[in-house]
A and B are shown apart, each in its own frame.
Chain A
Amino acid sequence: MGATATRAAPRRGRVSAPRGDLPVYRGKFGSEQAERLLWRAGFGPKAGQSEELAKRGMRGAVLSLTRPTDRSLDGPAPVLEKGQPLQPYSVWGNDVLWWLDRMVRTRAPLIERMTLTWHDWFATSNEQVNSQLLMIRQNETQRALCLTSFPELLTAITTDPAMQVYLTLVGSTKADPNENYAREMQELFTLGVDDGYTEKDVREQARALTGFTSTWNPTTGQQEDFHFDAALHDAGIKVIYGHRGNFGWRDSLRLALERPHHARFFVTKLWSYFSAEPLSARDTRAAEALYLSSGKQIRPLVEAMLMHPTIHAGARMVKPPIVQIAGMLRSINRYIDTDAWAWESSLLGQMPFYPPNVGGWDATSWLNTGTWLARFNLTGQMIVTDKVLNPSTAKVSKHPKDLTDEAIAFWGNPTVSAATRRALSAYAQSAAIDSATATWERESYPVLALNALRALVVASPDYQTC
């Protein structure tokens, strides 16, 4: 990057990177900025993590996420309500819990967050695949390759059984070619809709991609032994993007990745996972140059993006539902001990392994009156019964400000704006003080108010965004 510091760095981070590089954030990097980075590039902080990360400085913080030295999990193994172990391959929802557990316990949050990114990018739904085993194997592939090279990742996804079932690439043969994968590979994975390819290219790419097959196991009712069979491949001459040749499936991917349209599509889409504000034209060109010069590596681009001023001082993003669920669990130091999160994630609008379609989730409209209701009611599930304050036994402060502070502290002291604090304190005043007249009300209403404040803190616009 090599940017030079300016004397009085303004709040938004003064940009002075050399031409061709992405700008680097130069503003303050305290625990508030570290907290935001942990939400954007992970699943929020556990207790004390924002402060720890802030000590590394912005650059050190980003590199600690993109180059983790420890990918192990921290904390107790996931269980169901009665202490049973998960059965992620065979029991409904346990696949979601298996992954959510990783999000909650990981010491390398960006690895899980990038896995989530690729799950959305290469959206595959178990609704069609109907095999939690194949879905989890795909997930493991995406995790293993999440920061390697995009061509390598695309190659692995193209031959991935879950993807092959989902987009019916398996069984697409010379005699009966299927355009499904060829179309989405170009439209959603590499080039963008109707950008840099024609309907003729879709048909020719479909021919190049023929030959994948599997065998049907009548006992399990599942496809297995996924492989390429040259006898089922269309070995004829194809014309793709004007190139003539006897192209196979590797050529199909290579040709798409070599299209001049690919780099712009790639950096624009990748950036959209980290920021709600689009990159400027200049920064897009810089990102494309970085991507191409690195040999289409993912990690260098992610590092540069996470150091961009917009990440640290730009507009906020709505937390994706599964990110908020994982982050709430992290903040209260709770681990997987119920299957509720599987259906809760669905009610909130993002059930992992079940994206709505091949385009993935629509991250521009997570919140509406339906999903806002679900996020509010989620808190009732988050706080286990014995942590709900009982007005006949609990002793709490009767001061609105103290009650507000206590409620925020319950969630690990997330950053809450002054305006939202005022709204919460106004509620505390109204509920705990103004509503209480009888003696028992003056004793018990502050307790009820604190219970409500805990729900209100995480329903606030501050907490639902980062």
Chain B
Amino acid sequence: MSQKRPVDRSCACQDFNRAEFIRRGVAQAGKGLPSIEAGMPTPAGTGLSRRTFVLSSAGLLLSVYGAGHVLDPKVFEAGIAQAASDGANQPVIVSVYLQGGIDSMSVLYPVGDPLYATYRPSLGLAPDAGPVFTEDSSLHWNPLAAPLAQLHAEGKVSVMPTVGYTDPNQSHFTSRHYYEVGATDANLATGWLGRYLDIVGTKDNPLQGLCLDYALQPALATARMPVATIDLPTDYSFYAEGVWGPPQTVMYNTFDAFGEVAAASHDPAMEQSGDAARASNRLREQLLQFQPAAGTTAPPLPAGYPSATDEFPARMAAVAKMLAAGLPIQCVSVTTDSVFDTHEGQAAPFDAGLGEAVQTIYAFQRDLEARGLADRVLMLVWSEFGRRPQENASAGTDHGAAGCGFVIGTQAAGTMIGEWQGLSTGLDALGNLTETADFRGVYCSVLEQWLKQDAKAVIPGAASFTRVPVVKS
């Protein structure tokens, strides 16, 4: 390996590159699951223009969606600085998407239900495997979810055992779209958090909606206000082969010299290049503090985050770091690397995925607490649907309807939203779990109780959804 490549692409094998590239999503919002189903809606945010630039004050590589003509990084710089001074104590909502439709009955398993063994002959867990869910002892936590049980015991987790909506759609794409846009409307093109930002956001602060991914996640798709994506805040370094020591140190001065040469040329294309060179050097300087030490590839994550090669732990750690840096972030969207679409041989991939997701969420919460930020942040953990209670013949589970979700934070109400109805009464005609809380009611409650925003302006038909307690009163 002679050349330094971007850290996460150092493996030359085809499959890795391909998987990596696919994950980048090619600027198409709503990617992440195979688009295999006929008649699925176009994801919110599709067609928004994307511009990538670096926000030098924060040292972040940003892709800004929906910025319209406001594309000058300097404009964003000023707006972000203003927003940071205006709203240092604004509430933050972090949306964590468990992609693929997680099997809720393996997160909180109803071992006290007499039908559980019948429905889960191979996937069922033993009564003493995991801790009891203290609000309903018929449910036990998956042992890998024990950190959530710990946070719940501290009053920081509101459990939704069966959240969903009527007339559930079992397409990944369609049902995810509903959750992203906050309505069962295939044609809605903005995300529910995007519409919130359209009301409270500003034209010059893309960090108000921050997606840690290669492409915009649809919940943040706005109609008017800019939002941003970054991969990770550590990925910015220049490298010239066979250059080190003082000849390397002074090399960066030439970037500035290029900027001066270009400015003197009065040629717009030269200026674009020279401006990029100069801005790149500013950014390089500002990012030095985030750069891995010589000879290492990446700085270690704070204690507690799983040391996986997946990006989810690093991205959540980055959210905490950026909030700690005082950046004016209001809505964050992050997706697990793990895909919970466990149609066959569920146990092993589910355990790996759940373990990483739960450990990361727990570490993030502890990180926020250690940084004194915890009272400002509420996490909403969701998936596009749960899975069918009756396991299939391949030791897996198929697409279901209602499933689990969580509201997490020191300010979370900490009490169950909806209820667990039991397998004898809680199933619909197709054998799927029926919902005991509507996700739109949850969104309305988050908007009103946490973000102090009239939900009617954000969620279509808001008045018709029952509010639930999401925040401590």
Contacts and interface: CB of A to CB of B under 8 A. Distances in A.
Interface size class of B (residues with CB under 8 A): 35 or more
A419 B243 CA distance: 24
B309 interface: no
A369 B277 CA distance: 7
A342 interface: yes
Contact of A367 (B17, B236, B273): B273
A278 B238 CA distance: 35
A283 B254 CA distance: 40
B187 interface: no
Interface stretch (B24-32, B103-111, B156-164, B328-336): B24-32
B318 to A, nearest CB: 17
Contact of B53 (A369, A419, A449): A369
Interface in A4-27: none
Contacts of B280: 369, 372-373, 376
B434 interface: no
Nearest to B251: A452
Contacts of B26: 125, 127, 351, 354, 356
Contacts of A461: 258, 261-262, 265, 269-271, 273-274, 277
Contact of A435 (B2, B17, B250): B250
B424 interface: no
Nearest to B54: A369
A445 B236 contact: no
Given A427-B253, A465-B267, A452 B248 contact: yes
B250 A365 contact: no
Interface in B383-419: none
B53 A456 contact: no
A281 interface: no
Interface string A357-380: 100001001111111110011011
Interface string B284-326: 0000000000000000000000000000000000000000000
B6 A347 contact: yes
B56 A377 contact: no
A430 B250 contact: yes
Nearest to A455: B240
A420 B262 CA distance: 9
Nearest to A372: B276
Interface string A439-461: 00100010111011011100111
Contacts of B283: 369
B240 A371 contact: no
A380 B12 contact: no
A57 B264 CA distance: 31
A451 B236 contact: no
B54 A368 contact: yes
A62 to B, nearest CB: 22
A391 B236 CA distance: 27
B363 interface: no
Contacts of B247: 431-432, 435, 445, 448-449, 452
B251 A431 contact: yes
B47 interface: yes
With a 10 A CB-CB cut-off, give which of A276, A343, A445 has the most chain B CB atoms.
Answer: A343
B261 A372 contact: no
Give the most central of B21, B61, B243, B265: most A CB within 10 Å.
B243
A231 interface: no
A34 B378 CA distance: 61
B268 A370 contact: no
Nearest to A319: B269
Contacts of B21: 92-93, 342-343, 346
Interface in A354-409: 354, 356-357, 362, 365-373, 376-377, 379-381, 383-385, 388-391
B372 interface: no
A389 B242 contact: yes
A316 B267 contact: yes
A65 interface: no
A383 B241 contact: yes
Contacts of B241: 379-380, 383, 385, 388, 451, 455
B52 interface: yes
B273 A369 contact: no
Contacts, number: 201
B253 A385 contact: no
Most-contacted residue by chain B among A368, A451, A464 (CB, 10 A): A368
A452 to B, nearest CB: 4
A13 B292 CA distance: 53
Contacts of A53: none
A413 interface: no
B28 A127 contact: yes
A376 B265 contact: no
A51 interface: no
Given A81-B12, A317-B269, A379 B240 contact: yes
A329 interface: no
B257 A426 contact: yes
Given A317-B269, A368-B276, A371-B276, A339 B54 contact: no
B3 A460 contact: no
Contacts of B17: 92-93, 339, 342-343
Nearest to B261: A419
B2 A385 contact: yes
Interface in B182-221: none
A377 to B, nearest CB: 5
B83 interface: no
Contacts of A114: none
A420 B258 contact: yes
B270 A377 contact: no
User: Which of A317, A354, A356, A369 has the most C-beta atoms of chain B within 10 angstroms of its own C-beta?
Assistant: A369
A341 B275 CA distance: 25
B56 A369 contact: yes
Give the interface centre of B5, B242, B270, B279 by most chain A CB atoms within 10 Å.
B242
Interface string B54-80: 101000010000000001010000000
A62 B21 CA distance: 38
Nearest to A390: B242
Nearest to A421: B261
B472 interface: no
A318 B270 CA distance: 8
A459 B9 contact: no
B272 interface: yes
B53 A315 contact: no
A424 interface: yes
| A-B complex: 9 closest residue pairs judged by Cβ atoms | A369-B54, A435-B246, A92-B18, A372-B276, A451-B242, A431-B247, A385-B2, A461-B273, A423-B257
Given A91-B14, A356-B50, A431-B246, 13 more contacts: A349-B52, A366-B272, A368-B52, A371-B276, A372-B280, A376-B240, A377-B239, A417-B265, A430-B250, A431-B251, A441-B246, A460-B261, A460-B273
30 contacts: A81-B12, A318-B272, A339-B14, A351-B26, A354-B26, A356-B27, A356-B50, A368-B53, A369-B54, A369-B73, A370-B52, A370-B61, A371-B276, A376-B238, A377-B239, A380-B239, A381-B5, A385-B3, A385-B241, A417-B261, A417-B265, A426-B254, A435-B246, A445-B246, A448-B243, A448-B244, A451-B243, A459-B255, A460-B273, A465-B267
Interface of B: 2-6, 9, 12, 14, 17-18, 20-21, 24, 26-28, 31, 35, 47, 49-54, 56, 61, 71, 73, 236, 238-248, 250-251, 253-255, 257-258, 260-262, 264-265, 267-277, 279-280, 283
